[in-house]
Amino acid sequence: MEIQFAERIRTLPPYLFAAIDQMKREALSKGAQLIDLSIGDPDIPTPTHIIEAMKEAVEKPEHHRYPSYEGMLSYREAVARWYKRRFGVQLDPEREVLSLIGSKEGIGHIPLAFIDPGDVVLVPSPGYPVYPVGTKFAGGIPYFMPLKKENHFLPNLQEIPEDICKRAKLMFINYPNNPTSACATAEFFKEVIEFAQKYNIIVCHDAAYSEVYFEEKPISFMEVEGAKEVGIEFHSLSKTYNMTGWRIGFAVGNKDILAGLGKVKTNLDSGVFQAIQEASIVALNTEESDLKELRNIYKARRDILFEGLRKVGFEVEKPLATFYLWTKVPRGTNSIDFVAKLLKETEVLCTPGVGFGEHGEGYIRFALTQSKEKISEAVERIGRLKL
């Protein structure tokens, strides 16, 4: 029997992090003493009080049946309280909050609700690979908005051709940004809202890194007047509370957009395990002092890696948020070749910028997901590299 993949699968590029996993396996099979700074998977354990809440919740028989598709009301109420406390944004937990099996799931599914074949979706480049992949799965056409250093890694909406604007149905933006670590201003969000209103475009803001910040708190898209009329915001508990494997997140904002996403979800998944939702209510009530302690760990790591890379001679952006460092590769090479060279000669693994899109070429991304000691060792190894 001959197995043939569908066209939508055959035309996909290799998933970035799967390719990196392969590079990692090959290096380890050869005995490499690898320091992996490639993937944004927090190495710090999930806080104990969340784990204890999960232990209690998993013992409850009522949690071992199908959950509601939109999420437990108590979980959605906890999200609404968190938004009010953190951003000053009022949300109706019944209509303006939707639970997700991690924000990736919601981001991947949202085009299915609103994109017909041939419709255009505005996608940042470099950006999270799921934005264009979800678009293509829905039959849409990604239009890539370059994120350039000279524009503070914000898309220049004025450069988008008029015919593309008129065909666009949806736009993805992401701040604090992965991979560049850039943050957005209220002025930029106002510009996005005006743009969306003018062209009738749904805005999907990915705010997964809003709580991993250092000097200044990032703002929410939902804080800006008019945001709820044009869009929704995705969040994840993965990065904030070190719960990547738990697979839980949420989307908030425009009730009609959320209803469209909800219709897709009711047909494709059965909701989040209720014990995880119950433990996540506890997570959302975590003391600010505990979160500050986590941020201080990342800040110390950031400073070691930033100063080390700069001292060696790299041109690197100092992140105000996220746990990534967006770093230019030396002249005369490209991101994939330089990642391979770095791995071969120093046994330090990072991520090629081109994996985040054409406009990520010329950069590599380091993740702060190893201890200070490991990062210091990585800096020492990289310092021996001939650039």
Give me the DSSP letters along 18-70.
HHHHHHHHHHHHTT---EE-SS----SPPPHHHHHHHHHHHT-GGGGSPPPTT
pLDDT score, position 269: 92
Question: Given 3.30.390.50, 3.90.1150.10, 3.40.605.10, 3.40.50.170, which CATH number is that of 7-45+289-383?
Answer: 3.90.1150.10
Give me 21's structure tokens. 């996993």
What does the alpha-carbon distance between residue 353 and residue 209 come to, in Å, rounded to a whole number? Answer: 19
What does the alpha-carbon distance between residue 300 and residue 266 come to, in Å, rounded to a whole number? Answer: 43
Q: What are phi and psi of 203, to 5 degrees?
A: -100, 130
Domains of the chain, residue spans? 7-45+289-383, 52-284
- Mean pLDDT of all residues in 91-104: 98
pLDDT score, position 29: 87
What does the alpha-carbon distance between residue 204 and residue 209 come to, in Å, rounded to a whole number? Answer: 15
- Mean pLDDT of all residues in 73-88: 98
Higher confidence at residue 227 or residue 9?
Answer: 227
Q: Given a cut of 80, is residue 267 above it in pLDDT?
A: yes
What does the alpha-carbon distance between residue 202 and residue 119 come to, in Å, rounded to a whole number? Answer: 12
Q: Given a cut of 90, is residue 295 above it in pLDDT?
A: yes
Helix axes 103-114, 130-137, angle to 10 degrees: 40
- Mean pLDDT of all residues in 239-263: 97
What does the alpha-carbon distance between residue 250 and residue 261 come to, in Å, rounded to a whole number? Answer: 11
- Helix (H/G/I), strand (E/B), else coil: 352: strand
Lowest-pLDDT choice from 14-18, 65-69, 210-214: 14-18
User: Are the beta carbons of 170 and 142 closer than 8 angstroms?
Assistant: no
User: Are the beta carbons of 173 and 205 closer than 8 angstroms?
Assistant: yes
In tens, the pLDDT along 257-266 reads 999 999 999 9
Domain 52-284 fold is Aspartate Aminotransferase; domain 2 (3.40.640)
In tens, the pLDDT along 19-53 reads 777 878 888 888 889 999 998 899 999 999 999 99
Exposure of 209 in the CB half-sphere (CA atoms within 13 A): 27
pLDDT score, position 22: 83
pLDDT band at 169 (very low <50, low <70, confident <90, very high): very high
Give the strand order in the sheet containing 141-146: 97-100, 249-253, 231-236, 202-206, 168-174, 120-125, 141-146
What proportion of the chain, given as a percentage, has pLDDT over 70? 99
Q: Given a cut of 90, is residue 168 above it in pLDDT?
A: yes
pLDDT band at 385 (very low <50, low <70, confident <90, very high): confident
Total residues found in the chain within this entry? 387
pLDDT band at 95 (very low <50, low <70, confident <90, very high): very high
What does the alpha-carbon distance between residue 47 and residue 240 come to, in Å, rounded to a whole number? Answer: 11
User: Are the beta carbons of 94 and 73 closer than 8 angstroms?
Assistant: yes
What proportion of the chain, given as a percentage, has pLDDT over 90? 89
pLDDT band at 268 (very low <50, low <70, confident <90, very high): very high
Q: Given a cut of 80, is residue 238 above it in pLDDT?
A: yes
Pairing assessment for the beta strands 141-146 and 120-125 based on DSSP bridges: parallel
Cis peptide before 126 (omega within 30 of 0): yes
Q: Given a cut of 90, is residue 191 above it in pLDDT?
A: yes
pLDDT score, position 162: 98
